[in-house]
Amino acid sequence: MSVDAIKAQIDRKEFKPIYLLQGDELFFIQELTKYFEDHVLTEEEKAFNFSVFYGKEHSIEQVLEQAKRLPMMADKQLIVVKEAQHLLRQFDKLEFYLNDVVSSSIIVFCVNQKKLDKRKKAFKQISQIGEVFESKPLYDNQLAPFVDSLYRRLNKSVSSKAKLMLAEHIGTNLSLMDKEIKKMILAEPKTSHFEDVHIEQYVGLNKDYNVFELNNALLKGQFERSAKILSHFQQNSKDYPIQAILPALFNLFNKLFKLQALKTTNSSTIAKDLGIPPYFVQDYIGAKTYFGLKGLGRLIGDLKDIDLKSKGVGYNSNNTKDLYKEILISIAKARN
């Protein structure tokens, strides 16, 4: 079940007795937890019917003891168990309760960056009478639609370039993405549509020197410009850490490599297969002039090696400035 489907279920007051929110992406677990806290009970009902437990501090027995109590002056009581990954070994103790749940109690287990073994009886019981939500990290091609959804939730819209700039700059840190967008909207409450100038102003992006512009220069074969941008990154490595640059470059060249293998010339098919907006397809097709299959394969391998070096594998990771030069040399060697 998706985030939106569970939210719709809550809005309809169609509650299950138990929810298991688990997985690697904290953002969606936290988002759903807050939605439960904000929408299941009124503020007046919360006073007597809302309990929060923490996996490090409480036991399954304490959670169940609360769940067996009846709500006061409300139809339901809500029990949220945060950091429930610390209780996974105790989930067998849920089995008896799950055979005869208290229908007026809603238990929400939040398991961060871990998962309950699907072979466990408790997992099968929860799947049958409750809901299991697995929070998965987004792929890079899902970031732009995710950015779009964050703006739409706040009744705002965002330009295609601005979406991609945010996706390239922040990457898969969804909590930071959400924070930056809310900060931007708070600063511009009357603005209904956000452009790249807003990203530059509020997210701290230099309009000439950022990952989006680097990728854009490479796609268009503007190698002097891309070298200038990489040189700026090197000179200001604290603001442009190599660990933030490498994933964006890897994704770019990986898509170009994949494009070389595609036999279709249909723009819609290419956009779907590469996970890029349709209006960028021609830029990618044009880049085939500058990078061939063999060179791209070698370049992707070089970027993986540089990534390992940046993490200290066979290299002094305290001084990563020379690695920017290695990126530039590898790109130059990969050109047609």
Task: Note the pLDDT tens digit of each residue in 247-268.
Answer: 999 999 999 999 998 888 899 9
Tokens of 77: 């009581």
Answer yes or no: is pLDDT of 141 > 70. Answer: yes
pTM for this model (two decimals): 0.77
pLDDT tens track for 159-197? 988 998 898 888 889 999 999 999 999 999 999 999 999
Q: Residue 228: what pLDDT?
A: 95
Q: Supply the pLDDT for residue 282.
A: 93
Per-residue exposure over 238-262, b if at least 16 CB sit within 10 Å of its own CB, e if not? eebebebbbbbbbbbbbbbbebeee
The H or E element that residue 131 is part of is strand 131-135
Residue 322 near residue 275, CB atoms below 8 Å: no
How confident is the model at residue 208, as a pLDDT? 84
More confident residue, 142 or 78: 78
Residues 61, 38 contacting (CB under 8 angstroms): no
Amino acid 317: pLDDT? 65
Q: Domains plus CATH for the chain?
A: 3-135 (3.40.50.300), 144-334 (1.20.272.10)
230: pLDDT strictly greater than 90:
yes
pLDDT, averaged across the chain? 93
Please report which helix (H) or strand (E) contains residue 151, including its range.
Answer: helix 143-153
